[in-house]
Structure 1
Amino acid sequence: MADRVVQPSVFVVDGEASGCPSVPSGRWRRRRRGRCSPTQLLLAILVLLALLGVALEAYFLKRFQEELQGTASQISKGINSSAAKMIQEQTLKVEKPAAHVTGAIGTQSASGEAVLQWEHALGLAFLHQVDYRDGHLQCTKPGHYFVYSKIQLGELRCESPNYREASMFTHGIYKKTPKYPEEMALMVSNKPYCGRRDVDQWLDSSFLAGVFFLEELDEVYVRVPNKQLVRVKDGTRSYFGMFMI
């Protein structure tokens, strides 16, 4: 029996052979077709982030609107409360005695004193729980009062023979009380006038104010000896008044 010779298998590769490569199975094709490319995945992430941003913006905008409405409501309540408080305070103030007289319409009183006379009923003038009599404001309720007076001054021709020694203008607020026979000076101001050689016309003003305790029937008034210097014009230039604090 002849010996069997085993020869190795020989594979012949023909590089020039024509033909199509093997086509992958249908299952592999379906798996590959279902995958997303990196670009598509990135776009999906960006879209999700954009939608999330819009949702967060809408949420915070709604919260901001709610807080804004709440703040506006609180401010409105605060304004209404403040307005009511101011009205109440003004009402309480009206209950206190007060007076404001204007104009300085004369200087001679019925008693012969050089006391300024005032307009006490017209324009800006008023009386509330304070009596006016012959230039005097009479207290009807005891308490601490803020008393004030402003006088507008003027001289058209300063013809003083000696300009170095200016004349003096005296503006004073005085008080009379039934408990004491003499008048008492509450405030007095002395101002020089016509003291400059280079001007003929002189204009100035004098203002006095202070807090004093007044009892019932006490009277306060303004006395100005230099009555020719007082300029009236309207009720905003010269006035006199008092109110309880």
Structure 2
Amino acid sequence: MAEGGAGTSTQVFVVDSQATYVSVPSEKKKRWARVSQKLLLLLVGLALLGLVVEGYFILSLYKKTEQTFSFCGSHPLCQNLSNPNNQQGGLTMTRVGYKESNEIPIVQQHQEQTPQRPFAHLMGSDRPVDENNVVQWVNEGGEAITHNMSYDKGRLIVEKEGYYYLYSKVQLNAADDCQLIQHKVMKNTSAYGQAIELMKSKSFRCKTQKPSGPRASGGEDLWNSFLAGIFHLQSGDKIFVSLENIRVRPGLAYNFMGAFMIFP
């Protein structure tokens, strides 16, 4: 520094650390805010459109229903639909005629009558077998019954064509030493000159040796034979049971025969 001259001044910079910082939102945040606002407006618009469409369909359905009832007019069916008090117990109650009176209206109920299918149940008699080996039955009284079928001398007569379930059960006594036993269900039809075998049970039975004692049965060795099947029968066919080499035990509950239509 020269004497008597003016000195060069030193510049001092001071940094203020307490200055306030102002953050400026970025462009990306502004863009997301605009997109969110548009999406919200779109959802609100769709909701309002749905309400308008739903109201339109409800109004259309109401107009169609009103037109239907106005077209029916005074038809009894429409009156019953509009006034449920006219229906009692599932029957439609309508006034007969146009003249008012104090009389109770007559209710006409048309019921479709289903034709009853033929059936029969025959039970064993005191004289089980005749001279031709045809089993005789009881067709009336107790549990025995015939409906839309006839019975004549051991033969069940078909009156209506169809498919029938036939069954026969007998209780036999193999008292002899050994026997060839045959239990048959036969059919007589006008198409053939002789009987036709529908079902057959054939077995060789021998008397069972039982120990002697007070509980041993006297001379009886009981066996059961049961036959059943479905067959197509014509009107006029005769069904009967034939037994060969069998001593049948008499009794209503021991022996029986029956048939019932299953189709049509």
Q: TM-score range by the shorter chain?
A: 0.5 to 0.7
Verify: 1:174 aligned to 2:191, yes or no.
no
Alignment correspondent of 1:150 = 169
Match for residue 116 of structure 1 among 126, 135, 144: 135
What's the CA shift for 1:222?
0.2
Verify: 1:225 aligned to 2:244, yes or no.
yes
Alignment correspondent of 2:147 = 128
Uncovered stretches (5+) of structure 2, i.e. residues with no partner? 1-112, 212-218
Alignment correspondent of 2:223 = 204
1:183-221 Cα shifts (integer Å, max 9, x gaps): 100001012222544566411100000000000000110
1:97-108 matched pairs, under 5 angstroms: 97-107=118-128
Amino acid at match of 1:202: D
Given that residues 128 and 248 in structure 2 are in contact (C-alpha distance below 8 angstroms), is that contact kept between their aligned partners in structure 1? no
Distance in 2 between residues matched to 1:105 and 1:201, nearest whole Å: 18
Distance in 2 between residues matched to 1:113 and 1:194, nearest whole Å: 24
1:92-123 Cα shifts (integer Å, max 9, x gaps): 5x8100000001433555xx522111000011
Distance in 1 between residues matched to 2:231 and 2:186, nearest whole Å: 11
Given that residues 193 and 202 in structure 1 are in contact (C-alpha distance below 8 angstroms), is that contact kept between their aligned partners in structure 2? no
Verify: 1:184 aligned to 2:196, yes or no.
yes
Given that residues 96 and 244 in structure 1 are in contact (C-alpha distance below 8 angstroms), is that contact kept between their aligned partners in structure 2? yes
Amino acid at match of 1:193: R
Amino acid at match of 1:238: N
Alignment correspondent of 2:255 = 238
How many pairs align? 143
Given that residues 179 and 245 in structure 2 are in contact (C-alpha distance below 8 angstroms), is that contact kept between their aligned partners in structure 1? no
Cα root mean square deviation, aligned: 2.1
Amino acid at match of 1:223: S
Given that residues 105 and 119 in structure 1 are in contact (C-alpha distance below 8 angstroms), is that contact kept between their aligned partners in structure 2? no
Distance 1:133 1:106, change over 3 A: same
Amino acid at match of 2:248: V
Distance in 2 between residues matched to 1:231 and 1:196, nearest whole Å: 17
Given that residues 127 and 250 in structure 2 are in contact (C-alpha distance below 8 angstroms), is that contact kept between their aligned partners in structure 1? no
Query: What SS class does the counterpart of residue 121 from structure 1 fall into?
Result: coil
Distance in 2 between residues matched to 1:225 and 1:106, nearest whole Å: 15
Distance in 1 between residues matched to 2:129 and 2:221, nearest whole Å: 24
Amino acid at match of 1:242: A
Uncovered stretches (5+) of structure 1, i.e. residues with no partner? 1-90, 161-165
What's the CA shift for 1:136?
0.3
Given that residues 104 and 239 in structure 1 are in contact (C-alpha distance below 8 angstroms), is that contact kept between their aligned partners in structure 2? no
Distance in 2 between residues matched to 1:220 and 1:101, nearest whole Å: 12
